[in-house]
Amino acid sequence: MLNKFLSFNGLIFEPTLTPPWRVTFLPFNWMLSAAAVLLVLATALTSWHTVGPDENATVRIFGRYTETKGPGLFFAPPWPVATVLTTPVQEIRRIEIGYRTENPAALGQGGQAQYQQVAAEALMLTGDENLVMLNFAVQYRPADAKAWQFIAREPARLIKDFAQGDMRTVVGRTNLDQVMTTGRQAIESEAKEKLQKHCDAVGIGAKIVAIQLQDIIPPSKEVQDAFRDVNSAKEDKNKIINEAESYRNSVVPTARGNAAEIINKAKGYAAYRTQSALGEVQAFLKVAKEYSQNPDITAKRLILEATQNVLHGGEFVVDAGGGAGLLKFFNISEPADQSAPAKKTPAPGADASK
């Protein structure tokens, strides 16, 4: 039986098969040498990294990103100096929205999986204001290893949130009939395009492969009836508002026009009265000046003008009756003043010879 199985430079380590066992330890300097050898071996073994054909690896030196390595073998300083993280950039991943697969392993075994509805995610409002339960799946892959690892803490959660918002936007512009029948492909395409734009905007390095609509379930009759009542009430409200606005639009301009017309008439009448008053004042001042210069002539002229204004345009008969009962202001057949003969003016409507 072999009782000596290790010899190293004259120093032995030999346990025996029968007690007492005896162990001869190496000196301290030889222990350090052995530790150094083991450290070198461990460093050599842990400094070489292999990246699979469908993977990319990111290298960080003291926590700072330095480079991305593609498939193959490469050297990097050992931990904790360097940290290497691999990302399967060609792996197609899947996010379920509106439902959850309870036993996905059954699909790979030829069985039938069970699904659980998630109403909070599936319930959506269509463009014609109908409720629908819509389940869909998002397929994506982390195309950029650096962005996928460092831009967002939970990039998959971010993709899910974006996908829900984009799908609700697309469905909200589509009628229920199109959602249920012919519009599925257009909805998938538009939602995928929007989701890819959002992922590119935040730079998480995700490539959206496809969006697949699964089950589209209309809500129950009770929910449909209640929702229809709500829509009917909204339509009635909008109708009443539109009628009120129409009445206001027809009445307010008319009232404003009437008010403007009344104001303009008032302004015109005020201007007319003002100018008339000013004219009368000027005429009175002129007559007063003439009266101060020739009182008798001015007085008689005023009497004649007043008589002419009164008698103008009327039909009348003058019967002197021998002159009895007549009040004579002045004799129109004789000059009012010898120095200034008065103009003979026949009375309107009467013969001058009478």
Q: Write down the pLDDT at residue 124.
A: 92
Helices and strands (H, E) in the chain, number of each type = 9, 13
Crossing angle for the helix pair 295-311 and 221-293, nearest 10 degrees?
140
As a dihedral over the C-alpha atoms of residue 246, residue 248, residue 251, residue 256, rounded to 10 degrees, the angle is: -130
The pLDDT tens digits of the residues spanning 92-138 come to 999 999 999 887 655 555 557 788 888 889 999 998 888 889 999 99
140 within 8 A of 95, measured Cβ to Cβ: yes
Question: Helix 155-171 vs helix 184-202: angle between axes, to the nearest 10 degrees?
Answer: 140
Query: So what's the pLDDT on residue 293?
Result: 85
Predicted local confidence at residue 3, as pLDDT: 42
Give me the residue label for tokens 């202001």. 329
Residue 342 pLDDT: 43
Other Cβ atoms less than 10 A from the Cβ of 140: the count is 25
What pLDDT is recorded for position 345?
Answer: 43
Predicted local distance difference test score (pLDDT) of residue 51: 85
Q: Measured between alpha carbons, how far is 141 from 44 in angstroms, rounded to an integer? A: 33
Residues 6+ apart with CB under 8 A from 217: 122, 132, 133, 134, 135
- Residues of the chain with pLDDT below 70 are 1-31, 39-45, 104-111, 219, 223-224, 227, 316, 318-354
- Residue 146 phi, psi dihedral angles, 5° rounding: -65, -50
Model pLDDT, residue 344: 44
Q: Report strand pairing: 64-69 vs 123-125.
A: unpaired
Show the domains of the chain with their CATH numbers. 7-87 (no CATH), 93-104+113-219 (3.30.479.30)
DSSP H helical ranges for 124-220? 145-150, 155-171, 176-180, 184-202
CA distances from 59 to 136, 138, 143, 146, 325 (A): 36, 30, 17, 9, 139
The helix, strand and coil proportions of the chain, stated in percent and rounded to the nearest 5, come to 45, 20, 35
Neighbours of 5 (CB within 10 A): 9
Q: For residue range 24-75, what is the model confidence (pLDDT) as tens digits?
A: 555 556 667 777 777 666 666 677 778 888 889 988 888 888 888 888 888 7
